[in-house]
Amino acid sequence: VLASIFVNTSNEQIPSSPSIPMTTILPTQKEVWISRSPNTPTVTEADYESQV
């Protein structure tokens, strides 16, 4: 569910961009850049819960 929500938001806010500007989507910028980071597959969930 979270994935669907942030995907919808990012699609409306910005085009398909490899680097999402922090100013565009403040509440979801963390998940976006973490999700796009190939170095942190498992950190996504842990880091997200830690931040929020």
Predicted pLDDT of residue 8: 55
Predicted pLDDT of residue 29: 55
Predicted pLDDT of residue 20: 54
Number of neighbouring beta carbons within 10 Å of residue 31: 24
Predicted pLDDT of residue 43: 55
Predicted pLDDT of residue 17: 53
Tokens of 12: 């409306």
SS3 of the chain: CHHHHHHHHHHHHCCCCCCCCCCCCCCCHHHHHHHHCCCCCCHHHHHHHHHC
What's the whole-model pTM score? 0.14
Question: Where are the chain's structural domains?
Answer: 2-51
Predicted pLDDT of residue 51: 57
| Below-70 pLDDT ranges, the chain | 1-52
Distance between CA 23 and CA 41 in Å, rounded?
A: 24
